[in-house]
Structure 1
Amino acid sequence: MSADTLTAKRQVIALINLDDELTISINECDFQDRQLMHFKNGMQMFTAWEAGDLNIAAIISQDEVLASSGITLLETFQKNGLNNVPFFLIVNHFNSNLRRLALNAGIADVFKLPVKTKNIETRVNFMIDRWGDLKNNIQQQATAAYSIPSNKRAFDIIFSGFALLCLSPIFLLIYILIKLESKGPAFYYSLRVGTGYQVFKFYKFRSMYVNADQRLKDLKHLNQYDTDAAAKTEKKVEENTAHLCAECQGAGKCQFPIYADKVHWCEKEYMDSKKHNAGSAFFKIKNDPRITRVGNFIRNTSIDELPQLWNVFIGDMSIVGNRPLPLYEAEKLTTDKYALRFHAPAGITGLWQVEKRGKGDMSEEERLMLDNVYAQNHSLGKDIKLILKTIPALLQKENV
């Protein structure tokens, strides 16, 4: 339905990212003369709402709690002052931990598929009619979130602040080199899930070309030793630029975005290229032209990770803690067995990075269990010991 058909006074229930089956069900609901308006994604709705043409009474979004049309979208509305209406989520996965996270974020209610249409109709109408009285109670229903102990937070501020000050010449040099070698921003960020399932911007130095896929085709001639491989690489790039990867096709959009200013690209491509080139130390551009020469250096020396000190300084992370996870990984770790890892600081280094030293490959299960051990037993004294052990761990050949 077009916005042109809406009257100025008639209330609108915005529907975001609904699949065809759910759209049919929602359309059959009786929302008391309120009109339904469908949007493909949150940004489309955000643009219409921000323009001030819509009298939105509620938002119903179909996505997972930690996904782009879930809490992340609600936080976008909140930051822009567009959050004074009930926000509902319809999800595939839900449990007590996700419920607590949703309530902490300010979500009015969550429905787990398959859901009875009558339940949505009743609940949405009830919340809209009484939102003025109920909205202040939503947050009070949630359990208090974990907060970093004051002595640990003081240590983080002093440590990261001193490190940023001492490393500022290196930051400036790397910034200049990145800008000189290629167009685009020197920093990028991806969304990560940290303490208490809080989503934040995770910063790094850019080590790839922004137009990386196009450069593969332009620089294929540099692979002078294997023309067949170059031809296969070119074909693969042409296919990938036209289609989403298998993991993203189901969602109909990239699930691994990383951002810098007004551009974005795929983190999965970024991480695959990093893993593919981990053992190479000479002229990587021959193997993967997506990586800049400066990027090759800062990856091998872990300098690309240094901007995370800013995350520590502003309180998103701690020096020592459990590594923050991408949204698509955190969504899988919401059971009681794994959720404990999020009841601890998110950190640059941690227990499993140190324990990995000298033990070869460590399974995902072992890492998660060590994260739980840290969450149960961390203290400032133990953190300092882990920092001292991290230095030799960084010198081992394996990336940790």
Structure 2
Amino acid sequence: MFNEILLLDDDRFMQKFVRNLLSKKYTVYCSSTIEEALSILEKHQIDLVITDINLKKESGITFIKEVKDNPLKSHLPIITLSAEDSSAKKIEVLDLGVDDYISKPFNPTELDIRVKNVLSRYTKHKERKRIEREERKSFKETLSYIYENKSLIGKRGFDIVFSLSLIICLLPIYLLIAIAIYIENPGPIFYVSNRIGRDYEIIPFLKFRSMKVNADQLVEGLLQKNSYSKIENLEDITPCDTMITGDEGFTVSEKVYKAQKNRTTFFKLENDPRITKVGALIRKTSLDELPQLVNVLLGQMSVVGNRPLPLYEAEQLTKDTTVERFNTPAGITGLWQIQKSVDPFMDSDKRTKLDNKYAGSRNTAMDFKLIFKTLPAMMQKEE
């Protein structure tokens, strides 16, 4: 895109000459009066002004002053092109802030070079100002973000220091657990599953493997032994006479439908046959959770927060009464994790209320309090 130049000169032959000289590189607008020149300045994005000083009925100096007095145009570079060659006049004009002064007659190549140099300086200056504006804007936005999210930023800083320190200190324990897991039940040392965290983002959730290698395949057959379930067996429910119709004409007893709909979200078993001996030990002491320090270090989780959930559990909590739990970072420990050491088989309603409570009232003091309560809570009655 060409730079745009305004030429103010009341000699039509000079207008034609300068326009023909510069139009190969620039867009040139010619004017014969100050009024006409000011109109062009308002209508176009002019990058450079070239003006004569001695106009027939007006003064080029008056035009220069009007441009420099206009806050929106004062930054424009100006070159004077005039037959006036006295040192006093040059000094007067340059003192007004004019960027260059060319006397008539002039060498066309000289004009071309001076125009190029002035525009180059102007372009660099304009770009520098743009960058400065962007930097100021970015700095203000950063300060605003820090102010508005200072608790989250402080939380993230603590997470990095805390998780990295523990990982380094616990490396020998990591190694011993890994060896024990593999000796009892050869296979992967870590168990990785997709979990749902803050704002329903998927987290690659890490744990030491505490179950047999094919544990996930056994879940469906064990659902009716779920410790969280308020209704142990749907087959025991006697259908009622009231039938309700769903999509495609499907009908079902209203009593059975409501019972199935109200089945618990969370899944847990007492005396889970899938757990290995080493798994039972590391679960009882919560050592199976140690790999989640890596999740914390990577920013996928926080030290304190709501437990990240499997997809099949999380999808059932996207309701008005439960979705609040997803408004806070997923954590290794939290209100529910502390409470379950006292009430290991609390129902899903209690668990959901604890998650919502943390999400709605979380603060730094609460986080530290929960961290200090975590160590005694690690010695659990079951998993």
Q: What range describes the TM-score normalised by the shorter chain of this pair?
A: 0.3 to 0.5
Higher-RCO chain (CA-CA 8 Å, sequence separation at least 6): 1
Choose 1 or 2 for highest CA Rg.
2
TM-score (norm 2): 0.45
TM-score by length of 1: 0.43
